[in-house]
Amino acid sequence: MKMLSSVQCFGGLQNQYEHQSTTLNCTMQFSVFLPPQAADGQKVPVAYWLSGLTCTDQNFATKAGAQRVAAQLGVAIVMPDTSPRGEAVPDDADKAYDFGLGAGFYVDATQVPWNANYNMYSYIVEELPALIEAQLTVSNKRAIFGHSMGGHGALTIALNNPGQYTSVSAFSPIVSPIQCPWGQKALGQYLGEDQANWKRYDAVELIRAGASQLPMLVDQGLADNFLKSQLKTELLEAVLEETGYAADVRYHAGYDHSYYFIATFIEDHLRFHAKYLK
């Protein structure tokens, strides 16, 4: 890990690092907020934040306003990038925002040429936590949350790996990429045409298949212009009722898909995770 920047924030440190990823075969950047308790030598628990389409590790760090509450709670926040990066990493031929660079969808690609680099699932689940826990003052207690594409990533990663995460939450998640245009485009190209191979990356399908119960919180704005066409929160509600899976799904009138929505309710999510991390 090479530190790129470090600034003091609410008694803690907002840091940015880079490292050579063996999983993604490129140099990756990520950001970490270390609360003041970490500076005192305490190993603090970690909440992993997964961002949405077009984002980098910096969007959440600069827009969400999460550091004040994380400092109070003694929780570190790790903010990865959303895809592999670099001149050698393939991108969408049309430079579309919803596929390729900035749109890794938190899957392990199986199709050429994407499978050489687009392995964000294994990067988030295995490589990045191992690096963080070996080199920073953090424990192996982890929660995971995210927004939009990152909400999809948080839900599917947690549901696939219940022993690794104490809790999961999401803002405006893509709950069923199998059933929306963003997901169909991305999973079709990263994983191939057989939709049976897509199910492990679909929260609705994982819950329907009997995923283990985890504490889960989902917030969705009713003024979100992607709600009906891409996010389809009602599909998550239906499978929760069908299976008896317990989760708190909250709708908020007037809120859209932006970081204004995230900033409004980020304290709720951090306190939700802190209950289980502690």
What residues are labeled active site?
A: 148, 224, 257
Residue 147 tokens read as: 């927004």
Q: How far apart are alpha carbons 51 and 37 in whole angstroms?
A: 25
Query: Left (φ > 0), alpha (ψ -120 to 50) or beta: where does 29 sit?
Result: beta
Which residues on adjacent β-strands are paired with residue 13?
Answer: 8, 34
- No. of H helices and E strands in the chain? 10, 9
Which residues on adjacent β-strands are paired with residue 172?
Answer: none
According to DSSP, the β-strands at 168-171 and 138-147 are parallel
Q: Give the CB-side neighbour count of residue 15, counting CA atoms within 13 A.
A: 20
